[in-house]
Structure 1
């Protein structure tokens, strides 16, 4: 068993829950990582942001639950089946994780439209690659093309037993196609095709709207008390 050195960050305001402090256990930046080792760490609840691998390590909060979809058991609900039908002609192209000006332009427009960024906010090429890319992980930039136009890009890590959904950004003009949902559904089907076990979705946070959506993909497993177990939720008539 490899011993992985960790260090704790200082406490800071939580990005997801108001009036909460957060900190993380981070793999030491000098420790050499590769896709195989990260495949083991993600099973233990770790997550990648750029080259940094971390896990929440908050003193009095366990709201961040690592989540994954067992792909052979997944069943699309009615809304997801409608999304698949709308995207039946969407073209998907897997590309290597290299800088692409079209991707970067889409990323900037997405941040302005969906995350209250302004044109005055400096979103640099370096920040973009530092957030999404990695020097050691097998990462894809997956293009979704609608009528020949770039509608979305999903950043996906290919692990030894799973795919990991890192981030998806899309053109707001294609909102009616639900590109974020379709990107997850495509990853589930691609994992099945490659005979992989899971799609990792990052942290599910019940009390955070932008992180709660993950329980729409069922069955969803969460790492709770160091055990992977199903996360259940009450479906509505809209599902």
Structure 2
């Protein structure tokens, strides 16, 4: 790891320790069945927040926390450590053959960034995606937007991906001065041949480079879950292991 990157993470850890000492009493442990379908109980260590400044959210992300609505959480599961925070440093990323191919076959896509809202078009596409991805569950697009995406604590945006005006994918992001947090991505199941999940991350890397953003957080890498392990193919990437970000190059 380069000296400057090491210094950044050391500073973040030191600042977060101070922040944590003041707010840890706000957190509670919520036990539920594993939302990723693994055969273990899950423990969400979480707290609800009012609006956070940019640096505070940056510190939480650097410490491995995720956002769900107005809650920030980390996983404190007793019998499982499958959820590994993963991030990219956009300036370092080198696309592989499949990622280059995904970009090439989506050259007809137009991506536009706007304030996160959750209009009828997004709700319809999200509902279609959830029914295909999680059939038989009680998840709903309205619930995802109300309880998961929309929030009052950080700046959130959406990227609409369109082909000839038709919405084929929506990316939900939290954005800061030096970080982007990829919250969720959903797409038209009929367009699965496009590898839109891969294309979305490649596009986010390009946006981060354009915006001068140093860190792109991709949530959790879960090797046992197919919908979560594709992130590992983006190299180099960084994994938060034993509270330190480790660079993985192959």
- Would the aligned equivalents of 2:110 and 2:162 in 1 still touch at CA under 8 Å? yes
Q: Distance in 2 between matches of 1:92 and 1:16?
A: 29
TM-score (norm 1): 0.89
Change (3 A) 1:70 1:179: same
Listed as ranges, the gaps of 5+ residues in structure 2 are 1-17
**Which of 52, 67, 70 in structure 1 is aligned with 2:89?**
70
CA contact (8 A) 1:8 1:23 kept: no
Per mean C-alpha deviation after superposition, the further-off stretch among 175-184 and 33-42 is 33-42
User: Residue 22 and residue 96 in structure 1: after superposition, are their counterparts in 2 closer, same or farther (change >3 A)?
Assistant: same
Give TM-score scaled by structure 2 length: 0.85
Asked if residue 207 in structure 1 is aligned to residue 224 in structure 2, the reply is: yes
Stretches (4+) displaced over 4 A: none
Aligned to 1:33: 52
Alignment of structure 1 residues 104-183 onto 2, 5 Å = 104-117=123-136, 121=138, 123=140, 125-183=142-200
After TM superposition, give the deviation of residue 36 of structure 1 in Å: 3.1
Q: Distance in 2 between matches of 1:220 and 1:4?
A: 30
Query: Is this contact kept in 1: 2:208–2:214, CA < 8 A?
Result: yes
Tell me the CA shift for residue 164 of structure 1: 1.1
Corresponding position: 1:80 with 2:99 = yes
Greater helix share, structure number: 2
Taking the TM superposition and a 5 Å limit, the aligned residue runs for 1:217-232 are 217-231=234-248
Evaluate the alpha carbon distance shift between residue 22 and residue 231 of structure 1 in structure 2; reply closer, same or farther with a 3 A threshold: farther
Q: Equivalents in 1 of 2:118, 2:228: separation in Å?
A: 27
Query: Please, what is the CA RMSD of the aligned residues?
Result: 1.9
Structure 1, gaps ≥5 residues long: 234-239
